[in-house]
Amino acid sequence: NATLPVSMETAQRNLKVPEQISSFVQPLGATINMDGTAIMQGVATIFIAQVYGVDLTFTQILVVILTAVLASVGTAGVPGVGLIMLAMVLTAVGLPAEGIGLIIGIDRLLDMTRTAVNITGDAACAVYVAESEKKHMDQTTA
């Protein structure tokens, strides 16, 4: 959420996204499009399972994917909150939440990477919507 003003300004200036579209799409994406968070939770869960020597079944991997995606939608846009949601994902497949301690030391670096993935996805979505709307606007003026 802290990067939203810079991300919107970058999309408007460098990617030529109209302000009206950027002002709608990017805040919406910052709220519900946390793809970087979902990816991190899935990868972290598999890493923790490997450290504990647990082989996840296909069903458990599907549960990880579903839980990580749903948890990322409800994740607040503040640093470090992904670890709290990771506890829910770990619990869903029967792994100990204490496994979070294995990655907590490098989470700040992971958090910056998650943020980069999240805002890039939001900007890409804004570009796509801008292009679709431009085509629609061209048809109505013709």
Please give the pLDDT value at position 138.
63
Please give the pLDDT value at position 80.
72
Please give the pLDDT value at position 139.
61
Judge whether 36 and 116 are in contact, CB under 8 Å. Answer: yes
Q: Please work out, in degrees rounded to the nearest 5, the angle formed at the alpha carbon of residue 122 by the alpha carbons of 120 and 124.
A: 70
In whole angstroms, give the CA distance from residue 135 to residue 69. 31
Which single residue is written with the structure tokens 């990477």?
113
The alpha-carbon radius of gyration of the chain (Å, integer) is 18
- The residue ranges of every structural domain in the chain are 4-141
pLDDT in tens, the chain (142 residues): 778 889 999 999 999 999 999 999 999 888 887 888 889 899 999 999 999 999 999 999 999 999 988 887 767 767 777 788 889 899 999 999 999 999 998 988 888 888 899 899 999 999 999 999 887 766 655 5
Please give the pLDDT value at position 84.
84
In whole angstroms, give the CA distance from residue 85 to residue 116. 19
Please give the pLDDT value at position 110.
86
Please give the pLDDT value at position 43.
93
Judge whether 96 and 87 are in contact, CB under 8 Å. Answer: no
Judge whether 41 and 68 are in contact, CB under 8 Å. Answer: yes
The set of residues, in sequence order, having a beta carbon less than 8 Å from that of 16 and lying 6+ positions away, is: 130
Q: pTM to 2 decimals?
A: 0.78
